[in-house]
Amino acid sequence: MPRVAIIGGGIGGLIAARAASRRGIEVAVYEAAPELREIGAGVALGPNAMKVLRALGLEDEVRAIAGRSEWILTRNGKTGRVISRTSRREQAASFGSAAATVHRADLLDVLAASLPDDIVTLGARCVGVAGDGPAAVARFQDGNVIEADVIVGADGIHSAVRTSLFGPDAPRFTGKICYRSVIPADAVPGGPPPNDNAQWLGPHGTIVLYPVRRDELINVVCHYDDETYRHESWVSRCERSEVLERYSGWHELLLRVFSAGEVWYKWALYDRDPIAQWTRGRVTVLGDAAHPMLPYLGQGACQAIEDGCVLAAALAAEPDDPLAALARYERTRRPRASQVVLASRQRGVSNHLASPLAAWRRDLSIALRRRLGRDPDGRGTAWIPEYDASSPDVLAA
């Protein structure tokens, strides 16, 4: 079996480490931060991600720390009218598993606890890689150099591994921004809202609310069309008053929730085209390092989880030929992940329709799809949760 070094100890990196170690592959993780941590926000895990967690023996632990919502709703952001409603039970029947919503830090704790103690090296910031020789090489900021049979860049949207392989990317500003907060449910004036996983659609924007940490917290993500703010950072703060003013005409339940948010963050959404190549020699990438995407389908973490599972399967299928293994991994994953990137881009357009007539046509299309086909949310993307990255026959030939 090959020796694998994973650059990045986030969700995708730790999933890859868990999947690889369960297959008997020697793996080491190198994380730039001094501790394993995630930003203070929620993450939606679709049925496709939950099937991987089940295969890795982690589903029960993740569901134990997840929100407990029964319904997945799409609503009109102004009136509150329900556009579509799907139960977790219906989702499980359609796709083989139900989704879950968790705090990112809680999920990372579960993943880290599933690994042997000596797998992760902290405070190791990678600055460059090379994969064209008889071994892959990673160089770190402190001067340390390591070799492995395979190096995996799981180091996020601003990946040093991807840049080292293919040069810097060229992100395009979408004209959209996001606000986020995590709000204690018992702090909401008048009592907490229903614990549904709800997406609210309005002119020029989308708001997503869902419970995390056993319904103790409400994760809030608000999108809006705004050409004026272009700072791409998840940790830039803004005032609560800005959020309340921005959505002043939206449903009163939303404004009531927002009023309880003590800390708000704001960032600009940048879009990136799917890249034509993930692998060079003995080095490849996964997750946001491979396919950064807009958040409108809630698939960023899910696709990283799929990547980690498939990568381990490919390495185990070609134990004596790392180059062949990485080629199979890329053949299997790149077309699907690229399709999700493009679908996420299109969903952002559909969600933000400003024309009442166009929004009415969208909502009618959702109702017709739900009535006529096996498509619980009515948006034409059932192909995403149907996929099972843990299937024995998932690998491309």
pLDDT tens track for 328-379: 999 999 999 999 999 999 999 999 999 999 999 999 999 998 888 768 889 9
Catalytic residue (choose from 210, 224, 247, 329): 210
**CA separation for the pair 317, 25 (Å, rounded):** 11
In a domain, 238, yes or no: no
Type of residue numbered 284: T
**CA separation for the pair 272, 166 (Å, rounded):** 14
In a domain, 181, yes or no: no
Please indicate whether residue 210 is annotated as part of the active site. Answer: yes
Type of residue numbered 302: C
pLDDT of residue 92: 95
Helices 300-317 and 47-55 cross at an angle (nearest 10°) of 40
Tokens 């083989």 map to which residue? 96
Q: For the CA atoms of 254, 255, 261, 266, what is the dihedral angle to 10 degrees?
A: 80
pLDDT by 10s per residue, the chain, length 397: 899 999 999 999 999 999 999 999 999 999 999 988 877 799 999 999 999 999 999 999 999 999 999 999 999 999 999 999 999 999 999 999 999 999 999 999 999 999 998 999 999 999 999 989 899 999 999 999 999 999 999 999 999 999 999 999 889 999 999 999 999 999 999 999 999 999 999 999 999 999 999 999 999 999 999 999 998 887 899 999 999 999 999 999 999 999 999 999 999 999 999 999 999 999 999 999 999 999 999 999 999 999 999 999 999 999 999 999 999 999 999 999 999 999 999 999 999 999 999 999 999 999 998 888 768 889 999 999 999 999 999 999 8
In a domain, 248, yes or no: no
In a domain, 299, yes or no: yes
In a domain, 237, yes or no: no
**CA separation for the pair 117, 334 (Å, rounded):** 32
Domain count, the chain: 1
Mapped onto helix, strand or coil, the DSSP state of residue 195 is coil
Residue 146 belongs to domain spanning: 3-170+273-386
pLDDT of residue 163: 96
In a domain, 83, yes or no: yes
In a domain, 219, yes or no: no
**CA separation for the pair 330, 311 (Å, rounded):** 8
In a domain, 268, yes or no: no
**CATH for 314:** 3.50.50.60
pLDDT of residue 374: 67
pLDDT of residue 372: 84
Residue 10 is classified by DSSP as S
